[in-house]
Homo-oligomer: A and B are copies of this chain.
Amino acid sequence: MDGTTDGSRATTSAERSLLLDDQLCFALYAASRAVTARYRPLLDELGLTYPQYLVLLVLWERDSISVRELGAALQLESSTLSPLLKRLEANGLLRRERRSDDERSVAIRLTDEGAGLRDRARAVPMAIGDAMGLTPEQDATAKQLLRLLVANVTER
């Protein structure tokens, strides 16, 4: 069926290949979606999407954070976060209130329900870690390479 484009074709070094399978960027794109897909059933039980889960990870670490700080932590724009936070607020997991000392800023605070979700989420990282099935060394290498990549790609 799909043996046609398998394996390792030769690539000139002067000009990079246009072959899909040669490209790290596609591996990255596919891996990110595959991992998110693996999260889905686990997060469904918590009533969360993956980005919502990431927001809660940040808030469980440090509550009462501004949208700006949240965006810095997750590398997301306010145009992504604002509606997402509204949905989490509608679901009763957090509250948004203008800061009195700076009315431009909005403090995101977990409700008791949002804070309580943390216990139910504790098993998630381990389940995902198991599913990823990398050795601790591979995991560390991957994280290190991805951070280097992000640093390089976002500079300038």
Interface set of A (CB-CB < 8 Å, partner B): 2, 4-5, 15-20, 23-39, 50, 54, 57-58, 60-62, 69, 72-75, 118, 121-122, 125-126, 128-129, 131-134, 138-139, 141-143, 145-150, 152-154
Contact = CB atoms under 8 A, between A and B. Distances in A.
Given A27-B142, A149-B132, A34 B75 contact: yes
29 contacts: A2-B69, A2-B73, A4-B62, A5-B61, A5-B62, A18-B57, A18-B60, A18-B121, A18-B125, A23-B57, A23-B125, A25-B35, A26-B57, A28-B32, A29-B35, A29-B36, A30-B146, A31-B150, A34-B75, A34-B154, A131-B152, A131-B153, A132-B149, A132-B153, A133-B148, A134-B145, A138-B145, A141-B141, A141-B145
Contacts of A54: 20, 26, 29
Nearest 8 interchain pairs by C-beta: A133-B152, A16-B125, A32-B32, A27-B146, A31-B146, A16-B126, A142-B145, A20-B57
A31 to B, nearest CB: 4
Contacts of A153: 31, 34-35, 37-38, 131-133
A130 B73 CA distance: 26
